[in-house]
Amino acid sequence: MNALERPFPRSDAWAAHASHSTVRYCLQAEAEPDSLCRVLNLFALQFLTPHSVHVSQHDDLLDIAIDIGGLSWHRAEVIAQKLRNLVCVGEVSLENQARMEMAAV
C-alpha cells in the first residue's frame, strides 16, 4: 500500500470518539545500530509518521524523543507499552504536548 492508498487519519477503534492530540514519547534505548529502526518501525507498522525525532547518544544509551500527532490518549498508551516490550528499550515516558504547552504559558 502506498501513501496515497493509506487511510488518513487511521481510525482508533477503541477510542473512536476521543479527542486526538500530539504526544511526545521520551525513551532510552541501547546504543545499537538497529535500536532506532526497531523503535520507528512500531510507528511505521501503524501508518504513523512522527512530526519530529530527536536522538542523542550518551555512553551506551540513546535518548530518543518522538513527537507525533493525531493519536487518542488510549492509542498513545498502547504504543508506549509496545515500545516498553522491545528488548533494546529501557524506559518510556509519554507526555501530552497540549498540556505541556499550556503549562509553559
pLDDT digits (tens, 9 = 90+) for 6-21: 555 555 555 555 567 8
pLDDT band at 102 (very low <50, low <70, confident <90, very high): very low
Long-range contacts: 41-47, Cβ < 8 Å, 24+?
A: 42/79, 42/82, 42/83, 42/86, 43/68, 43/79, 46/10, 46/79, 47/6, 47/7, 47/8, 47/10
Mean pLDDT across the stretch 39-57?
95
At position 38, the amino acid (one-letter code) is R
**Residue ranges per domain, the chain?**
21-104
Least confident range of 7-11, 23-27, 35-39, 46-50: 7-11
Question: pLDDT value at position 16?
Answer: 56
The CATH fold assigned to 21-104 is Alpha-Beta Plaits (3.30.70)
Beta-bridged to residue 71, according to DSSP, are: 21
Pick from 67, 66, 78: which is nearest to 18 by CA?
A: 78
Question: pLDDT value at position 70?
Answer: 85
**Cβ neighbours around 92 below 10 Å, total:** 20
